[in-house]
Amino acid sequence: MTDNQFDAFFRKKLVDYSSQVPGDMWQRIKQRKDKERRIIILLALLLLTVGGVTSYFVFSGKQQNKENITSSLEQSPRENDHFVNKDKIDAVIITQNDTDEKREINLLPENNIVVKNRADSDQENYTMHQNNKSVLNKPKENIKASNAAENNENGIKFSDPPLSKNTPDSLVSNSSSQVTSKPNEDISAKQVNQKKSLLQKDSLSKNEQSVGTNTITIKEPIINNLFLEVYFSPDIPISKTSSSNTAYLQHKDSTSQMQLSYTAGVKLGALLGRHILAKIGFQYSEINEQFNYTNENAVRTVPVVIQRLLADATGTIRVVLDTSNLMQAGTQYKLTYNHYKSIDVPILIGYETGSDRFKAAINTGVILNIKTSYSGDVLDASLNPVDIGLNNIYKSNTGVSLHLGLSLATRLNNSFQLFTEPYIRYRLSNMTGTYEPFKQKINVGGLSFGLRYNFKK
């Protein structure tokens, strides 16, 4: 008999066969679907909440920045006026930053100090402003060369009265086309590196600047940075199996061997303050396991069709086809690669520290399993290999895991960071069904590699 005849024989016999559906089948399916729907709704709510909170912080921070920018813009025309006035100043002071010796300029008697202002340069405008500040911040320094009264005497008038408060600045900014020092008067223009400190202070916007009667307060945003991480991790799974049946446990351990596995995912993170990290994302994990089964006393059944010729009492020959199972004894070798595929939501917090170039962070949190599917083989209670996906041997939702990792990152450029993170993932609950002859947890140790993109450069 050929294979086609064999197939045709079965096809003919089974073409109208239909198996009965258990009465509670739809009820079970509905219960499962309701459970999955509840999980999806909960996750969606969680994501919405986290997204909403994140958005609030992000956009409220942006709004604050906008207000600051607006305030700055309102302030800048005055300063520009101020600078315009300064542009009119012919006198230029030679700003000395290089050496301490040059910081103090002792103006000799009879010397006219001509300070040329490079009027078109913002930098120099800024410098002048800083110089004003520096003088403001150094009230005790010996500035004898000028004061407001003297400057006013020189007939210099400012359109912006509040700026006239910057009386010490008058040495530079309020000077007329010529600043004439009186003989024997010391003008000590001390320009220490306060310029730098002022720059920092300006950039950090921590100072309250009083301009006239307006007070502008610049707050530091709660979220200092938003970033997106894409990562991949080779994992080493560690299986922890227990069973009340010692013989089963021995066979299970001897047939199963964990293999190199992996995790890949994406996380959205935020830097809260200077050190605190918060991350949420999606990740796909695949735990691999080698199932190597040998049974030296195996019996398999093979369907066969036997054709027989039967002679009846009248001598007529009848052909009788009989389909039966042929049992064969031998040794069965079965090698299967089991895959435990999970989709998870990691929710992590961390503490980050380090320099601008290198950063280290410790991350911890929970990993919520959305769904896990299984393929491969596993030993049943009678020590025979069965499909791992059958009979709910493993749970489709394995619950919560704990994550602990140490992240090391290096800056590639303003936008990207390369990071690596050795981590462990500890499973809190068993993955197996209630009525299985064993209980199993698979913990994972891994080393992630990934790229972080900073939205705020």
Partner 1 sequence: MNRYFSVIIITVIFISCKKEASDEFLLDLNNPLNDTTWKTNILADAPVNKIFEMLSTPSQTGSFDAKRDYSVHFNDYLQIKFSGNSCKGDGGESISGTVKVEVEYLKTRGDMIRFKRSTTSYDRILESGGAFNIKVTQNGRRLKLVPDKVMIIKYRNSKADQQMNVFYGDTTVNNLDNFTWVPADSQRINTWRDGSISGYELFCKRFNWINCDKFTDTTKPRTTVSAILPVNFTNNNTAVYLVFKDMLSVVRMYANVTNRLFYFDNVPANSKVTVVSISKIGDNIYLGTKEATITRNLVVKLSPDKKTKKEVDDYINSL
Which residues sit opposite 237 in a β-bridge?
444
Q: Which stretch binds partner 1 (CB under 8 A): 67-75, 184-192, 242-250, 256-264?
A: 256-264
Structure-token pair, residue 233: 């991790």
Cβ nearer to partner 1, comparing 43 with 304: 304
Q: How far apart are CA 445 and CA 426, in angstroms?
A: 9
Contact between 308 and partner 1 by CB under 8 A: the answer reads yes
Q: How far apart are CA 131 and CA 198, in angstroms?
A: 10
Contact between 9 and partner 1 by CB under 8 A: the answer reads no
DSSP 216-259: E--PPPSEEEEEEEEEEEEEEEEEEEE-S-HHHHHHHHHHEEEE
Cβ nearer to partner 1, comparing 114 with 451: 451
Given candidates 9, 57, 262, 282, which one binds partner 1 under the rule CB under 8 A? 262
Contact between 304 and partner 1 by CB under 8 A: the answer reads yes
Contact between 232 and partner 1 by CB under 8 A: the answer reads yes
Amino acid 399 reads G
Report long-range pairs for 315-323 (Cβ below 8 Å, ≥24 apart): 321/9, 323/9
- What 8-state DSSP symbol labels residue 414? S
Q: Is the distance from CB of 192 to CB of 102 less than 8 angstroms?
A: no
C-alpha distance from residue 130 to each of 86, 191, 201 (Å): 13, 9, 11
Question: Smallest distance from the beta carbon of 437 to partner 1, in angstroms?
Answer: 23
Instruction: Show the binding pattern over residues 310-349: x = contacts partner 1 (CB under 8 A), - = does not.
Output: x-xx----x-x-x-xxxxxxxxxxxxxx------------
Instruction: Show the binding pattern over residues 401-440: x = contacts partner 1 (CB under 8 A), - = does not.
Output: -----------x-----x-x--------------------
Question: Smallest distance from the beta carbon of 228 to partner 1, in angstroms?
Answer: 17
Interaction with partner 1 in 277-296: which residues (CB under 8 A)?
Answer: 288
Question: Smallest distance from the beta carbon of 264 to partner 1, in angstroms?
Answer: 9
Contact between 261 and partner 1 by CB under 8 A: the answer reads yes
Cβ nearer to partner 1, comparing 124 with 229: 229
Q: Which stretch binds partner 1 (CB under 8 A): 179-187, 188-196, 297-305, 398-406?
A: 297-305
Contact between 453 and partner 1 by CB under 8 A: the answer reads no
Question: Smallest distance from the beta carbon of 226 to partner 1, in angstroms?
Answer: 23
Dmax (CA) of the chain? 153
Q: Total residues contacting partner 1 (rule CB under 8 A)?
A: 37
Q: Which stretch binds partner 1 (CB under 8 A): 5-13, 127-135, 211-219, 304-312?
A: 304-312
Structure-token pair, residue 78: 């005055």
Contact between 21 and partner 1 by CB under 8 A: the answer reads no
Q: Is the distance from CB of 365 to CB of 428 less than 8 angstroms?
A: no
Structure-token pair, residue 352: 């980050």
Contact between 68 and partner 1 by CB under 8 A: the answer reads no
Residue with tokens 């089964």: 293
Closest among 258, 332, 323, 322 to 293, alpha carbons compared: 332
Question: Smallest distance from the beta carbon of 19 to partner 1, in angstroms?
Answer: 21
Cβ nearer to partner 1, comparing 280 with 361: 361
Contact between 274 and partner 1 by CB under 8 A: the answer reads no
Residue with tokens 């109208």: 16
Interaction with partner 1 in 165-224: which residues (CB under 8 A)?
Answer: none
Cβ nearer to partner 1, comparing 201 with 339: 339
Residue with tokens 């595929």: 341
Q: Is the distance from CB of 340 to CB of 378 less than 8 angstroms?
A: no
CB burial class (10 A; 0-12, 13-18, 19+) of residue 26?
Answer: exposed
Binding site for partner 1 (CB under 8 A): 232, 234, 260-262, 288, 298-300, 304, 306, 308-310, 312-313, 318, 320, 322, 324-337, 412, 418, 420, 449
